Amino acid sequence: MSESDAELAAAWTEAASIDAIAEAVRAVYDDAAAQVEARGPACWASGRCCHFEAVGHRLYVTGLEAALAQRWATKPASSCDVRAALTLDGCPFQTGHLCGQREARPLGCRVYFCDTSAQTWQHDLSEHGLGQLREIHERFNVTYRYGEWRAMLAMVAAHCR
């Protein structure tokens, strides 16, 4: 029997409250940041990357990432925020042209750049980080699910009402 979305969201939220898990995920993000910095891609702070459909990409996250984004956000996304973002084809954390929750953003945001020179390495960096995140799910016995950012965030936001 598989877990329901509500059960998964509850489990991810509980796991995100455990400091050892949060620190393990933060280490993956720090590793990705160091690799990105070494490559030096340009970010024009246009906010285009947050309008997924307009730039032709989707942002996918793990369950833990969605729950940790809510934990780390200075203003967690509500179910209404997520629905509004879906209507606008964007991200509920976007404020103007910038990420309003930069420290809370998931791996996919940390490694994606509109800079075409990044396209040669960002996929490999993303896959490496996702492997590390999957290992964290397994090590801490947290059900792994990988899904579209806003859908996963909506699950967690609905749980935290």
Report strand pairing: 60-62 vs 98-99. unpaired
Number of domains in the chain: 1
Using alpha carbons, select from 28, 30, 29, 16 the residue that is nearest to residue 140.
16
Please state the pTM of the whole predicted model.
Answer: 0.89
> Which residue range(s) make up the domain with 153?
5-159
In this predicted model, what pLDDT tens digit does every residue of 73-118 receive, in sequence order? 988 888 888 888 877 778 888 888 778 888 888 998 888 877 777 7
Distance CA 88, CA 92 (A): 9
